[in-house]
Every structure is written in structure tokens, then in C-alpha cells.
Structure 1
Amino acid sequence: MNDTPHSLSSSRTLWELVVRRAALTPDRPVLIQRDRTLTFGELRSRAERVAAGLYGMGVRPGTVVAWQLPTRAETVLLSLALARLGAVQSPVIPFYRDREVGFALRESRAEFFAVPGVWRGHDHTEMARRLGAKGIFEAYDTLPDGAPSMLPAPPAEGTSVRWIYWTSGTTSDPKGVLHTDRSLLAGGSCLAHALRLTADDVGSIAFPYAHIGGPDYLVMLLLYGFPAVLFEHFALPDALAEYRRHGVTVAGGSTAFYSLFLAEQRTQPPGTKLIPSLRLLAGGGAPKPPEVYHAVVREMDVQLTHGYGMTEVPMITMGDPRDTAENLATTEGRPPRGMEIRITDGEVRLRGEAVCQGYLDPAQTAAAFDAEGFLRTGDLGHVTPSGHLVLTGRLKDVIIRKGENISAKEIEDLLAAHPLVADAAVIGLPDADRGELVCAVVEQPPGAGELTLPDVVSHLRTGGLSVHKLPERLEVVDALPRNETLRKVLKYKLRERFSGPLP
């Protein structure tokens, strides 16, 4: 066969891409996890059997199936089985809890819900039952199975909405982002071509596969025919043995990952490379300080390319490994062909095939797109004469910590119920390890006793806030700065005040 990565990009659906890659290199590995390896041929055949098992359970084209599963081969197989059926799937990040999960199940009207059972000390099955989920089934190490001969024809087009991803955005409730196979294929194709990878590379997925980056990465594997090592739980230095054992050449995820690898490199003897086979760190999802880029290149002896994406548009721009150090350190890279970037009043707006179809809530969709069909990102930036995008801030009041969006309003609403809090503003502060850290700035009522960070964290956890959203810093002030009209809190003044090093 004479298929090339660029010709495979013409696949109409994700399943069509799976079939074409399986026919091209059936015996090459695609997913590696500890001592388990799955080939491209096995990926197709096993996903078809899972699809048949799901079909026997009553899953049909258009059926909404939510899943909250860790990064495992079974998760990828389940997702591809749903793509084979043409079902509508709603991935949910595995560390989300009652608030987010319950909202996602209700809003998507999921008819089935796949969970891992008890995972990392949390009983997902019991939570699903408590939330009144329909069609609960466990899919950690055992998947539905059936005979592929019973399956209907696979979907013939990739323009129908078959994916619902969730993002916190700027409101206290998540937003359901609507994607098609074609929008995910476009995002993954752009990522693959931008990174200039080859069939000889070995990738790694150390982030939740339920993130929008999951299908992005899978499309890259299918286009170029190389494998990825899966990490169900990423922690250093424990994960290093797997990176070294399987000869990973490409790693990363977000700024937090770069910082973790860099910290481990600094524990090594002089002249020792942390992962001998590694040649590239790549990722996005959070701000990247220029000094992190320079430190990684200098100390780890690898290239670093950083990009710009969001749940609504998984791939917007990406750094080119062959670009200049200045551009790689200070910009988000350039957009791929087909991605239009327009700067309107300083705001970055987007139009292209990788852009989502909108949101579950039609009112949110109407507000998100302008009259010419450009998505309003809420991010501020400009494009350089060379075509590189520079981000300078955000209109949206959202904190991006380790690549995950955190709504300030959700935390503020919970803090308002604390007896020692009169008012609160939650802000993101620059952090080299996390991209941003969550800082709660609190104004107390007269005569109130001392308020500590452990007090705040305990209160928020009792209120059901997910662990990844908990503040890492607390500042108590006499009065929050406000404007003179509606007495709105001026968060930019808080960021200016507290962005420096702690005294």
C-alpha cells in the first residue's frame, strides 16, 4: 500500500483511519503498557469485538455513552468501539467527582456510563449509583465482547456530532463541547505534522486519555504508525523506568510535565541524560515561561515545542522543532494550514475544521461565535510578522493549572458559605511547575478569627470540590480592591500584588 501520513489524513471518520492503518502495518505496536503490547491490527479487531458487545447491550448509532476511565488500553478500545458504532461518547476526566460528573451525566442525557470500579481509592461505581446514572458498567480490565458479524455498517461520514467534551470555562458549571470525527481528525493531523514525527518514534501518553488531547494523540499514532507508552498514573521518578525501558523519544503534556522532568534531571550525575532515548518534549494547555524552555534545552539536551489548544479547538498552533530558539521560547508556534486566526480588539478568534461545533447549550454557542463564524477564545494576543502567535493574557476569568481549566467562580461560591469569609476572589498566579497556581484572596468579616489554608481546603473538600481545583495559596486582606461603579472586585490588582515571590 502507498498510503502516507498526509493521505491518511483524508480519512472521513476516526474508524476509517483505524481500518486503513491496520491494513497498512497490522503487526506494528501501537499501545504499550508495562508488559502489554497491542498492535494496530489487534487494535482494530479487538475494538470491533467490544463494539459488538456494546451493540448487544443496546448501544446504537447516536446512543450517548459517558465514560470515566483512566489511561489504559481498555479505555482506548472502548472509545474506538463507540466510534465504530457511531455512538455519541462523553469522556469525563477520571478525577472529577459528584459535582462535575453529575452535571455531565444530566446534561448529556447519557444512557450508559462506563466506570473503572474502585480506582485509586475512589469507588466510581458507587458514585455512579449515587448520582442515578443509567446503564452503569465497569470497564477497567474487562470489556463487553461479541461477534463482529452482528454489527451494522460503520458511520460513513465524520461531520455529525459524536463527541461531548467538558470544560469549566468561566462559569461554575462545565460546558459540553460538541466535536465531530472530522474536527478531532483535523486537530490530531495538525499536531502530528507540526511535530515532524516519524514511524521510528516512540511516544507517551501520561495525561488522562479522557482529555481532548487523547484522540489528538491517537490520531497522531494512526497517521505515522508509531507506538505510545501509556501511564495510568504519572509520577516521577517512578515512571522513568518505563520511559527508559521502551525507548520513549517524545514525552510531555504541559508545562507541569516539563518542570517535573527538569527537576528529575537535576538529580542526575553530571553528564547523565535522564531518558537516553528522549529527543523531544512537547505539549500545551498552560502558559510556558521562556526560562522553562531554555532550561529544558540546556539541561536535558532535548528540544521543547509548545503549542496552544483548548477543549473547543484541540490544536490551534504548535511550535516547530526546527524553529528558532527565540520563537520556541516566546511564542505558541504557528497555526497549521486551514486554521484561520483573527485578532479582534486584542482577542484571538478562530475558524477552521478543528473548531468545535459549539456547545450543548445553544445560548453558549450563540455567545461564543461572532457573525463571521469565528470562535471567540477569550484569550488576548497578537500574531508576529513571521506568523507566530503570542498570547498576552485572557479575557476569561479561568485558571489553567497543569493543563486543566478551573473556574474561579465555582471556588468563590463555595468560599462564600464559610463563616470566616465575607468575600473572596480566586485568581491564578504564574507558577513554573503548574503553569498557574490557585490563590484564594479573602476579606473577612469584622471580629473574625484566624483563617488558615488548611481551613479553606477542608471547607472546599467538604463542599465537593475536586482535588485538582483546591487553592495552594491563601491571602487574607483588609479589603478587596473594587471599582467605583458596581463595586466589582478588580482582580488584576490582586494579580499584580501577589504575583511576586512570597515574602
Structure 2
Amino acid sequence: MTDTAHALGAARTLWELVELRADLTPDRPVLLQQDRVLTFGELRERAERCAAGLYGAGVRPGTVVAWQLPTRIETAVLSFALARLGAVQSPVIPFYRDREVGFALRESKAEFFAVPGVWRGFDHTEMARRLGARGVFEAYGPESLPDGDPAVLPPPPASGEDVRWIYWTSGTTSDPKGVLHTDRSLIAGGSCLAHALHLTEDDIGSMAFPYAHIAGPDYTVMLLLYGFPAVMFEQFALPEALAEYRRHGVTVAGGSTAFYSMFLAEQRKQPGEKLIPTLRLLAGGGAPKPPEVYHAVVREMGCQLTHGYGMTEVPMITMGSPDDTTENLATTEGRPPAGMEIRIADDGSGNGEVRLRGEAVCQGYLDPAQTAAAFDEDGFLITGDVGHVTASGHLVLTGRIKDIIIRKGENISAKEIEDLLHRHPAVGDAAVVGLPDPDRGERVCAVIEQPPGADPLTLAAVTEFLRGEGLSVHKLPEQVEVVDALPRNETLRKVLKYKLREKFA
């Protein structure tokens, strides 16, 4: 990390970070979207005017403002306007509907709610009214944001330690949890990402994920620290998005493992011709990365791949670095930054539950009972992930506690089997789950998504392959299901294993 980035990383608040960067490089671009360009100076100016308009509408320091907006320049401006005011923000993923949105509005006690109107055929304004939301306003087009004279504004917040962010977990099996963050925890997470990737002001990044995801501020902090821009994608799909990557000369792309696989699939349509000529790095996190995906990206796309580990509660925990060894980049989640403590609650096997303590860790949840259950007696966040730390300080994740399949009293890692399945040429993606079994306790079920044109896989073919890869006999799947597409969420396209358990149990 450069000296300038180190200095900016010490900013107390997100608004202070915006001001410092705008003073340094006011005319450099920060956000690119189609033909539109927003500079760092314009970000400060527009956010202040928007903050003044919000202030005139009654938003004050501490006012809870929910927003459910797509990945657009206006969304970032509104978010920083709220940061300027010291309001409490509750970002909601734009794909969520009545159940999740209603829950978020009720639990956060939001006094205002920003929506995009009709977006992708769905009327968000009507949903907001149906849910009885307060202070509903639309914030979508370039002229849609509140506007006012910054002279009316009170001083910006001085402390970055107050809770000003409520992010929502996915809520795939129950109601979402409201995760409490401060400006400083978000700056610490973004600093971890920036420090590991060794980016420069000459890079051009990309946001292909919802800005309302915890990755939104994570990535934006990195832009502010290093002073380079990112291309925003309101809707991400390949191959349609490739033209924007090429037009803007994107050097850093990614998002999650599913994104890597999507880029690979497109690259394989034109082998030998680089998919994005300027691309030098894929980076992301959010879901485990099979080693074979790393090797395929480097081999076929001609760029580096660095993968990290984060969650809504801790936006960045570890991150691979381009100067890591090939072995570490392929098989680990990278190293933590200074200030992130990782404790492994070893179960005697060399692996154990991963626990975390540091500035990037959230303050807990809206529900105090959930907060009490989430931290151990020493203040470490209990993640539910299982892994170990290598002698070089790299974190290896071997699965989640709920992904440990207990068959006849023996623990089996779903991730170990998934990593091996990804080596099979007829496997596009795979998810392994444990299903209830009266004789074994649980049986191992492999659910496979195949690439176009592949011969259908059978249980016999899968087990024969895994035997050849050296998998122990007691870990072999007893059930194989081939599906057209694995069920995924709408943010980082994580596989929803609970749906597989429900379907095939």
C-alpha cells in the first residue's frame, strides 16, 4: 500500500475519506457507467448537495434511511450524502421482495426509504406503499436525487465508531439478521482488500455486484484509497457486459467464484484470443474457490486470480495477493491484514471453527440475543466456518460446520469432494450436501451442473472418478443428481444448499 493510501486509511469517517481524496485528485474519475463519468471532486460536490436536499426533507444525524437501489452512480452519491449527514443507512438488495424488505423496514425502524420506481419490470414504489413504508422517495435517474444548498448542512460526523450501517444477511432459511457496522469497520475492510491487491491509480476496476451488498463500500473504499475508477454494471450478464469491460479498459474484474466460472465459459468460446485484452487480475470472494478454477483462469484467460474471504459481518477477513505463491493462491483464502486476529477452535483434527476479532468485525446485530450468541467470551466472532492457518499465515477453509457431513460417525468435508469434482471435464459446478439417512445418519449427495454438450454423469462414473483422484472410500457419494442449474442467490451467486437439501432429501 502506498504512503498516501496508508494515510487515507486512517480517516475517521467515510466522509473524511471522500474529502481527503477529492482534495488530492479532484479531476480523476471514480465511477464510470456507460457514457457517464463521475470524478472524485464531483462525488464530493454532488453528495453535499444531495445531503442538503435530504436535510431539508428532515434527515438528521442518526435518522435511519433505508435504500433499495441498483448499482448506479446515483446510488453511490446518495449513500455518501447520507454518510455526510451521519444518518444510519440500511441498504437492501434490489432483488429482495415483500418478505425481506418488510422485515428490514420494520426491524430498522426506517424513517425514509429510497427506491428506484419501476426497475426490471417490478414496481418498487408500489411495494413500498403496500408495506406501509415511511418517507418513500424515488432515486434512480441523474436528476432524481434530492438537491439543496450545502450551506445549510451541520458539521460532518467526527467519529467513525458509531453504528451508522445496517446490512442484512441473506436470510435463506429464516428472517435476515441486521448486521451493525461503523464507518471505521467498513474502512478497515476496504483497506484489507486494497492492501492485498497491490493496485495503482492506473488500474480500472469494476462493480458487477449489487452496490447494496457489503462489497459496495468495501470496493469503494479501495477506489478512494488508491484514486482509480471502477465501471458500474446495473445489470451484469455475459456476454452482454463484455463490451463495457473492453470499452473502458478494465484491468481488475471479478466478484465471486461464480463470476470466475462465467468469465471462463466465455473465454472458452474464443480460445487463444484474450477475452478482455486489458484484464490482468480477477479478484473476489464470497464463496469457496476450487483450486482447479484458479489454474484454469491463469492458464486460459492469461491473468492472475486472487481470492479472499469475507462475510456481511466482516467485509474482508483475508485476501490473496498477486505476489503469493501459486500453491497459496490456488489452495488458500490469503492472509489477514495487520489487526485481524484469527483463532481456530481446533477440534483435534488440525481443523476447527474460525473465529475473528479486529476493527473490520461488525458491532453485532440489531437483535441483542443474536449478538450475545455470535461472540465468544473473548470477543471473537463465531463464523461457523471450518479451517486452519498454515505456517505462512494463510487461511485454508475446509467447509462450514453445517457442511460437515457425519456418515456413520465419521466427519466428511463437502468442500473436499467438491474440489475434486471440479477437476472432472463433465462438471461445470458441483455442490455436495448431507441428506438424512436412517442407516448412516447422513448420506453424501453430489449435485452437479454440467457444461453444454457434456455426456450425462452417473453415480458409477462419479465414484470411479473420485476413487481415481484418491478420495477415501467412506467419503464417496451415495447419490448423484444432475441439474440444469444449481440454485443461487442474486448477490454473489452463492449456491443455496438448503434448497438442494429440501429437494433431494
Place the TM-score, normalised by the shorter chain, in its bin.
Answer: 0.7 to 0.9
Aligned-partner Cα distance in 1 for 2:478–2:132: 43
Q: Give the 3 Å change call, closer, same or farther, for CA 92–435 of structure 1 in structure 2.
A: farther
**1:10 paired residue number:** 10
Q: Deviations over 1:299-352 (max 9, x none)?
A: 000000000000000000000111111110111011111000000131000000
Match of 1:239 among 238, 241, 260: 241
Aligned-partner Cα distance in 2 for 1:67–1:434: 36
Amino acid at match of 2:98: D
**2:461 paired residue number:** none
1:437 Cα shift? 5.7
Match of 2:230 among 213, 225, 228: 228
Q: Indicate if the aligned counterparts of 1:185 and 1:219 stay in contact, CA closer than 8 A.
A: yes
Q: Indicate if the aligned counterparts of 1:288 and 1:435 stay in contact, CA closer than 8 A.
A: no
Q: Does 1:74 align with 2:74?
A: yes
Match of 1:481 among 437, 449, 460: 437
Aligned-partner Cα distance in 1 for 2:150–2:479: 57
Note the 1:19-38 alignment, pairs <5 A.
19-38=19-38
**1:312 paired residue number:** 313
Q: Indicate if the aligned counterparts of 2:285 and 2:308 stay in contact, CA closer than 8 A.
A: yes
SS, match of residue 4 in structure 1: helix
**1:195 paired residue number:** 197
**1:340 paired residue number:** 341
SS, match of residue 437 in structure 2: coil
Aligned-partner Cα distance in 1 for 2:180–2:67: 16
Amino acid at match of 2:185: S
Q: Indicate if the aligned counterparts of 1:317 and 1:389 stay in contact, CA closer than 8 A.
A: yes
1:502 Cα shift? 3.5
Q: Indicate if the aligned counterparts of 2:198 and 2:322 stay in contact, CA closer than 8 A.
A: yes
SS, match of residue 243 in structure 1: helix
Aligned-partner Cα distance in 1 for 2:195–2:296: 26
**2:369 paired residue number:** 363
Following TM superposition, the consecutive aligned residue runs of length 4 or more in structure 1 with deviations greater than 2 angstroms are 168-171, 427-441, 490-503
Note the 1:39-438 alignment, pairs <5 A.
39-141=39-141, 142-168=144-170, 171-268=173-270, 270-345=271-346, 346-396=352-402, 430=418
Q: Give the 3 Å change call, closer, same or farther, for CA 483–175 of structure 1 in structure 2.
A: farther
Q: Give the 3 Å change call, closer, same or farther, for CA 389–62 of structure 1 in structure 2.
A: same
Aligned-partner Cα distance in 1 for 2:168–2:432: 20
Aligned-partner Cα distance in 2 for 1:348–1:131: 38
Identity of aligned residues (%): 78
1:481 Cα shift? 1.7
SS, match of residue 304 in structure 1: strand
Q: Indicate if the aligned counterparts of 2:286 and 2:310 stay in contact, CA closer than 8 A.
A: yes
Give TM-score, length-normalised by structure 2.
Answer: 0.81
1:397 Cα shift? 6.7
Aligned-partner Cα distance in 2 for 1:117–1:438: 40
Q: What CA RMSD, in Å, does the superposition of the two structures yield over aligned residues?
A: 2.3
Amino acid at match of 2:345: T
Q: Indicate if the aligned counterparts of 2:189 and 2:315 stay in contact, CA closer than 8 A.
A: yes
Q: Deviations over 1:251-286 (max 9, x none)?
A: 000001100111101111x42100000000000001
SS, match of residue 65 in structure 2: strand
Aligned-partner Cα distance in 1 for 2:73–2:438: 51
Amino acid at match of 1:125: T
1:170 Cα shift? 7.5
Aligned-partner Cα distance in 2 for 1:434–1:101: 33
Q: Give the 3 Å change call, closer, same or farther, for CA 117–11 of structure 1 in structure 2.
A: same
Q: Indicate if the aligned counterparts of 2:444 and 2:479 stay in contact, CA closer than 8 A.
A: no
Give TM-score, length-normalised by structure 1.
Answer: 0.82
Aligned-partner Cα distance in 1 for 2:166–2:442: 32
Aligned-partner Cα distance in 1 for 2:254–2:10: 27
Amino acid at match of 1:286: A
Q: Give the 3 Å change call, closer, same or farther, for CA 170–260 of structure 1 in structure 2.
A: closer
Aligned-partner Cα distance in 2 for 1:172–1:397: 18
Any stretches of 5+ residues in structure 1 without a counterpart?
399-426, 442-479, 485-489
Aligned-partner Cα distance in 2 for 1:287–1:188: 20
Q: Give the 3 Å change call, closer, same or farther, for CA 80–131 of structure 1 in structure 2.
A: same
Q: Indicate if the aligned counterparts of 2:434 and 2:444 stay in contact, CA closer than 8 A.
A: no
